[in-house]
Amino acid sequence: MGVSPYIRTLRRSIGHDLLLLPAVAVLPFDEEGRVLLVRQSDDGLWATIGGSVEPDESPHEAAVRETAEETGLVVELDGIRAALGGRRLRARYPNGDECSYVATVFSARVTGGVAKADGDEVLELAWFPPGALPVGEMNDLTRAVLEGAGLLPPPPG
């Protein structure tokens, strides 16, 4: 879906200036303990499933919606892994838009649907064992989410 109509309206007023946005990240796990990640179309990097919470939508609803939109999968959320914010959850997009996210990170299991990248925001889907995540092909925001969720060690120092 890309940028939501709500955020598009805000951007007409504030341009590329910083927006503080509620967001979700979803970590579906399979029976082998692998986590599903998506390769983003805007930068070609691996990321968690997720996005902004829309007006009048709960984080739970946003997590289920984002998963279906990006992957074609239906998930059942089975817990909150983290609630994150701060400098590392700040992003500057290729068009110059800046966002600072406060994210609820959910773990989930797939209950239906057919796995298929949406071709808009997501180019590819893949399951990764937690010990073999493609860290070198992730941005700092994704690494921060995975660290906060306990799937990556925190950075040294």
List, for residues 101-124, the tens digit of each pLDDT value. 999 999 999 999 999 999 999 999
pLDDT at 23: 98
Which three-class secondary structure string do you get for the chain?
CCCCHHHHHHHHHHCCCCEEEEEEEEEEECCCCCEEEEEECCCCCEECEEEECCCCCCHHHHHHHHHHHHHCEEEEEEEEEEEECCHHHEEECCCCCEEEEEEEEEEEEEEEECCCCCCCCEEEEEEECHHHCCHHHECHHHHHHHHHCCCCCCCCC
| pTM exceeds 0.85 for this model | yes
- For range 70-79, the mean pLDDT: 98
Q: Under CATH, to which class is 5-148 assigned?
A: alpha beta
What is the residue extent of each domain of the chain? 5-148
